[in-house]
Structure 1
Amino acid sequence: MLKLIKVYNTVIGAALSPCYICLLLLPPVRIQEFLLHFYYYILLDQTRRIQQLQLLLLLSYNNSRIKMDESKSTTGTSCSDDISEKQEPQFCLRWERYSYAPQRPRGTSIILRDDENARNLSPVIKYSISIAVLYTAFVATFGNSTYTGGMPGVMTSFGTSKTLATIPISCYSAGLGIGALFSTAFSEVFGRRIVYRVTAPLALVFTLLGGCATNFGTVAIARALAGLFASPCLTVGGGIISDVWNISLEKTGTIFAALFVLFVVAGTQTGPMAGAAIITNHSWRWEFWVSAILFGGSTIIAYLLPETYQPQILRQRAEARMGLIATRATLTRLVLTSLGRPLHMLLVEPTVFPTGLVMAITQSVVFSYFVSYATLFQKIYHHSPYAVGMAFCPLIIGSITAIPTIAIFDQIFYRKPRIEAIRTGTKVAPEKRLYPAMLGSITLPISLFWLAWTGRADIPSIIPILSGGLFGFSFVLTMLCLPVYHSDFYTAHYSASMLAALTFMRFFISASFPLITPTILDILGFTWATSMLGFVTVALIPIPWILYRFGPYLRTKSCYIQA
């Protein structure tokens, strides 16, 4: 009988899965909601299992000793079948994942101890985990930008044009964006540690393959796969920081969250410098070897990291000690969810798409710098490739300067109101997080126009170089504050999908800019090509200001935010 049910679910799922994806394309929200309800009730009728899982997940975050027993007379909470009778599920226009269905044999109980929570680990272990995650995030983005220094060598070795030589940068970026959709969902189902252990060695292998390539196609494919398997360092790494620290309440957690973004940015900005230094004395293949060495460190870290995702820890202990049976979702359903919910949030959530657009354009400017800096400082100022790489130093300095600026804004506009809100039992508006992003929206176009109109032969090269400091400052203000703003009002369950959506849009859109920048530079010239980017960022200035003014109203239109 069970086999017949499985066959039935498989057939119905295969028939309705295209409808599940096509829901994104239907403009009327009411039609979407009707079809989605139909899909849930036909294929995903697992109400009791879901509510049992929700209960277990709720218990997993409790720091006290909790006991679950069959008898209703105990002080714990029963996990019997009558849970589903207390409240009917309220379906909304959401992409939900039905990953586990814990079933507890009679007479067993679950006792959660304080030391089972990753946030209750010793300070030494928590600091070690956080520093290790920062390293892996740095390596993931460093592996992309370090290739820029070796592009002339690739062009010579394989006889490619400059535009074609930038394809591996776009391939790696696209891999990071696509991988973000899958890695977050897989980490929530299988845990953080197993995702790291599977993907980190594969990123190392494909980086080595790129260094050993004998044709340009192999380089491009290897880079795409390396980016795909490096993406968990960005998405799952942020989840580990949230597992170990309470970012909203612990000052140390806030610092590590800011450092995580800074290390991601630093990897992008130091890569060209390192690549230029490597290519001075070695061939372009050494850029792959250096990245492979760093990925080797990430692989070692992956096998040393403990599991930090509390629901996965609960499932492991339940399976090992109490005989709980955890039924995993089918791979097809997992893939549909990992792709569906982030993309759905991009399309229907009123704050996610505008935020993702701002982050994507800002990231695209950085990728365009990989090409435009070489054009400016080599063709106009006749600098060496090493000097071109060193021109990225102000970006790093500006990025570092942004961190204390954000801390000052946070102390003045968020933490003091939060203390008052805790005292009065109210909540601080998430829009208080947007002040740094509002400042960054103004300084970003200024930095671009500065670079565009001072990058001339009659002006010393140090003047356009210094514009990178203001750009790096603006870059971090935008990249850090906008995701934190969303994390304040999305629950932990949907926050991961929101971050995956933003990461996907950020890297997927910016992946095309290294390809189109050489053509735009040839047609418009450096001044007007860079000015065009400045005009685009001017058009984006109102977005954080609109979110600040109308954010409370826009949140009421969200189907992922519970009132």
Structure 2
Amino acid sequence: MQSFRQYHKFRKAVEAQYGRNIDKASQLKRGSRPVPDSNASYASEISQEKDVEKGESDDSIDRRDLPAGVCPGDVHRPANQDEPAMKEEDEVMRHNQEEEPAHGPGPQPEQVERRDYDQREAVETPRREEVEEPVMEPHRETELRPTHSRRSGLSRLASARTAGSALGTVLTGVNIRKRTTNEGGAGDVFIVGFQGANDPLDPHNWSYALRIWVTMQVAAIGFVVGVASSIDSSAIPHAAVTFGVSEVVASLATGLYLIGFGVGALFAGPFSETLGRNAIYIATLTIYMIFIMAAGLAPNIGAWLAFRFLAGFFGSTPLTCAGGSLSDIWSPWERIYFFPVFANAAFLGPIIGPVIGGYIVTSPLLNNWRWTEWITLIISGAVLVSVVLTQPETFPPILLKWKAAHMRAITGDDRYRAEVEVRRESFFHRLGRALYRPFLLTATEPIIVLVALYLTVIYIVLFTFLDGYTYIFEEIHHTSEGVTGLCFLGIAIGLFGASALVPFIAKLAKKKMAEVHAAGKTRLPPEFRLWFAMLAGPSIPVSLFWMAWTSDSNISIWSPLAASVLFGYGILCIFISCYQYVIDSYEIYAASALASITLIRYVAAGGMTVVGIPFYQNMGVHYTLTILACLSIPLVPVPFVFYKYGHRIRARSRYAPKHE
């Protein structure tokens, strides 16, 4: 709903811009000096010649007869002019050129290159003494007048520039260039961009209220799919009885959902970068809800497990798209404050899920484990309605694609294109390349491998807690199922504690930014994002050792609960650092990098939920948590190593942009 309103808003904005500039376009078409645009300071500069949209052309005109920058489609031939007359006129023109005195020392017109974006091409510019007033606005296809000048002496060529073509020279945010050979086509293309640094259509310039609302919506999506990932963990014993299977088999419902998360992430990112964020959020949430409903109606264990996997597959969208959505609307500086909002919600979901599930399975009113699916469906439905009604599209390439479509419709000129429309590739070709890239990054990028390993250990510990809390609190401290679910709130409190670091990190960022500006640079290095992990990384093994050796009936239950708070603080800080470091390091390839990391950590976490029950049964709480703590110790130095040597690693990368 909001996307449709946004689409029509773009139409009105383009019409308003067209109305403001149509007079200038008409003046330029007549060869007059147009009135300078108030936004000219931000007008897109003409880039190096790349390839152009192929349009209608008069094949009877030889391209070699045309001056530089004039395409056959821009020329019409007078009806009463035949070939002999044209040849005779060619001879006259050559005679005039031979007699005309040279313009002076220096290169010939055909050797003169484009000097600056605010000058015409030298081969199309009359001599200085013939110009009464310089033309300020750039355009390659200058008007050809019947004159005997050496540079504009083709009197048989009349101006055929359309109103849309002339408009392209005065509209801010329109960049005129040629296509490159690998883009296909020939001729000029007008690349449509935002009008200026303060263009209200640019998502970075939306009001704070709207951008905060978009952030909350994305966080809500992450929260509900996170709840669905763990809410069934409390229902495993009851579902096992219903289907007549062991608890280990029933635990596959959680494990397969997480594996579906990882596999689905490989598709969510590429599709969102082709169709837009909003379309993917709405479509995948709808299908995810269908399979959640199917899981609640499952007649046997096989159907339940299959539907849970498919629900996870389509529920994976926030894991890869949310980071992109936040980058669409917040600057790198602003993300210091607002990325933790999403991170809190994304981790709070798996923590709150067992709390909700614990009371559902023990409630005398509900008294059925299937209500874990129904409650998830209700919450997800509320979020979906909110997204459909109020969530705008944020992906700039899609927004510019809308704008270009409106400009083509208004001007009648098909050469107005968004950057994503210039390259003539099929949807499946682009999708195939995007699907291949995550595996390539995993195989070649040490940053991706180490970050994936770091998060994998964190997620293994987190999701084995879904099974382990039963042994830690029910069997040792004899809590009920409902109270055991409440014990997860200790991790939730720790998650919010990570937000206390935000003011400190922001203060560090200001100081570092001053140093960066003094060095003549414009942005913080990606390694700055590692401060969260460096400050909180050691808390993971400390909290696990603490919980391992204080989980005893002779020790107060508050000791393992306090350890869980420290654990929650550590995992969120690491998540914030890892995600933002990858986003800043790989920029346009961030979705592919995050997809790879998501696949690795969720497949591993899904497998560990299956072995979690035997692990705690055979090893006991003390040794199970001790082993997990030992696994996390070697990862503590990782953010420190990246902080010191990350710039060298990125310098060798084919995909990480060079910021130094």
TM range (shorter): 0.7 to 0.9
Deviations 1:75-100 (A, max 9, x none): 7765443x538xxx9xxxxxxxxxxx
1:286-305 to structure 2, matched below 5 A, reads: 286-304=371-389, 305=391
Deviation at 1:217, TM superposition (A): 1.2
Structure 2: gaps spanning 5 or more residues: 1-49, 54-136, 144-168, 409-413
Alignment match, 2:638: 543
What secondary structure sits across from 1:488 in the alignment? Answer: helix
Which residue, out of 387, 401, 404, partners 1:318? 404
Structure 2 counterpart of 1:313, one-letter code: L
Q: Which moved more, 1:460-469 or 1:285-294?
A: 460-469
Structure 1 counterpart of 2:264, one-letter code: G
Tell whether the 8 Å contact from 1:68 to 1:78 is kept in structure 2 after alignment. Answer: no
What secondary structure sits across from 1:214 in the alignment? Answer: coil
Alignment match, 1:267: 349
1:347-362 to structure 2, matched below 5 A, reads: 347-362=443-458
Tell whether the 8 Å contact from 2:51 to 2:185 is kept in structure 1 after alignment. Answer: no
| 1:404 lines up with 2:503 in the alignment | no
Structure 2 counterpart of 1:365, one-letter code: V
Deviation at 1:456, TM superposition (A): 1.7
| 1:241 lines up with 2:336 in the alignment | no
Which residue, out of 468, 476, 479, partners 1:372? 468
Deviation at 1:105, TM superposition (A): 8.7
Which residue, out of 370, 387, 394, partners 2:483? 387
What secondary structure sits across from 1:489 in the alignment? Answer: helix
Deviation at 1:191, TM superposition (A): 0.9
Tell whether the 8 Å contact from 1:70 to 1:107 is kept in structure 2 after alignment. Answer: no
Change (3 A) 1:481 1:48: same
| 1:285 lines up with 2:370 in the alignment | yes
Deviation at 1:412, TM superposition (A): 4.2
Deviation at 1:49, TM superposition (A): 7.7
1:21-170 to structure 2, matched below 5 A, reads: 48=51, 71=141, 74=169, 79-81=176-178, 83-84=179-180, 110=192, 112-113=194-195, 114-170=199-255
Structure number with greater Rg is 2
Alignment match, 1:195: 280
Structure 1 counterpart of 2:279, one-letter code: I
What secondary structure sits across from 1:71 in the alignment? Answer: coil
Q: Which moved more, 1:441-450 or 1:549-558?
A: 549-558
Change (3 A) 1:543 1:127: closer
Alignment match, 1:42: none
Alpha-carbon distance between aligned partners in 2 of 1:69 and 1:300, rounded to the nearest angstrom: 48
Deviations 1:369-426 (A, max 9, x none): 0011112222222211011101111101111001112441x13433311133224423
Tell whether the 8 Å contact from 1:350 to 1:557 is kept in structure 2 after alignment. Answer: no
Q: Which moved more, 1:544-553 or 1:224-233?
A: 544-553
Change (3 A) 1:453 1:497: same
Deviation at 1:431, TM superposition (A): 2.4
Tell whether the 8 Å contact from 2:52 to 2:189 is kept in structure 1 after alignment. Answer: no
Change (3 A) 1:429 1:132: closer
Change (3 A) 1:431 1:512: same
| 1:416 lines up with 2:500 in the alignment | no
Structure 1 counterpart of 2:437, one-letter code: R
Alpha-carbon distance between aligned partners in 1 of 2:52 and 2:634, rounded to the nearest angstrom: 48
Alignment match, 2:542: 446
What secondary structure sits across from 1:511 in the alignment? Answer: helix
Number of residue pairs the alignment of both structures matches:
481
Deviation at 1:462, TM superposition (A): 2.0
Alignment match, 1:517: 612
Alignment match, 2:649: 554
Alignment match, 1:35: none
Alignment match, 1:466: 562
Alpha-carbon distance between aligned partners in 1 of 2:397 and 2:139, rounded to the nearest angstrom: 19
Deviation at 1:70, TM superposition (A): 5.5
Alignment match, 1:306: 392
Alpha-carbon distance between aligned partners in 1 of 2:140 and 2:387, rounded to the nearest angstrom: 39
Aligned-residue identity in percent: 27
Change (3 A) 1:111 1:353: closer
Deviations 1:460-498 (A, max 9, x none): 22211221001001111111112212323322x112222
Deviation at 1:354, TM superposition (A): 0.3
Which residue, out of 575, 583, 606, partners 1:487? 583
Deviation at 1:254, TM superposition (A): 3.0
Alpha-carbon distance between aligned partners in 2 of 1:538 and 1:107, rounded to the nearest angstrom: 56
Tell whether the 8 Å contact from 1:137 to 1:264 is kept in structure 2 after alignment. Answer: yes
Structure 2 counterpart of 1:534, one-letter code: A
Q: Which moved more, 1:160-169 or 1:333-342?
A: 333-342
Change (3 A) 1:295 1:334: farther
Tell whether the 8 Å contact from 1:441 to 1:537 is kept in structure 2 after alignment. Answer: no
Deviation at 1:549, TM superposition (A): 2.4
Deviations 1:241-276 (A, max 9, x none): 211221x133xx432211101110111111111111
Alpha-carbon distance between aligned partners in 1 of 2:51 and 2:544, rounded to the nearest angstrom: 56
What secondary structure sits across from 2:553 in the alignment? Answer: coil
Alpha-carbon distance between aligned partners in 2 of 1:102 and 1:560, rounded to the nearest angstrom: 25
Alpha-carbon distance between aligned partners in 1 of 2:273 and 2:204, rounded to the nearest angstrom: 17
What secondary structure sits across from 1:300 in the alignment? Answer: helix
Alpha-carbon distance between aligned partners in 2 of 1:137 and 1:381, rounded to the nearest angstrom: 32
Change (3 A) 1:144 1:352: same
Alpha-carbon distance between aligned partners in 2 of 1:456 and 1:239, rounded to the nearest angstrom: 44
* Cα-Cα RMSD: 2.6
Deviation at 1:107, TM superposition (A): 9.4
Change (3 A) 1:314 1:518: same
Deviation at 1:331, TM superposition (A): 5.2
Alpha-carbon distance between aligned partners in 2 of 1:153 and 1:217, rounded to the nearest angstrom: 16
Deviations 1:433-454 (A, max 9, x none): 3232123221100111111111
Q: Which moved more, 1:157-166 or 1:413-422?
A: 413-422
What secondary structure sits across from 2:537 in the alignment? Answer: helix
Deviations 1:179-223 (A, max 9, x none): 111111111111111112211110111111111111111111111
What secondary structure sits across from 2:479 in the alignment? Answer: coil
Tell whether the 8 Å contact from 2:442 to 2:449 is kept in structure 1 after alignment. Answer: yes
Change (3 A) 1:107 1:414: closer
What secondary structure sits across from 2:538 in the alignment? Answer: helix
Deviation at 1:168, TM superposition (A): 1.0
Alpha-carbon distance between aligned partners in 2 of 1:337 and 1:255, rounded to the nearest angstrom: 34
Tell whether the 8 Å contact from 2:530 to 2:581 is kept in structure 1 after alignment. Answer: yes
Alpha-carbon distance between aligned partners in 2 of 1:333 and 1:107, rounded to the nearest angstrom: 22
What secondary structure sits across from 1:388 in the alignment? Answer: helix
Alpha-carbon distance between aligned partners in 1 of 2:653 and 2:187, rounded to the nearest angstrom: 39
Structure 1 counterpart of 2:295, one-letter code: G
Alpha-carbon distance between aligned partners in 2 of 1:490 and 1:301, rounded to the nearest angstrom: 32
Alignment match, 1:224: 309
What secondary structure sits across from 2:586 in the alignment? Answer: coil
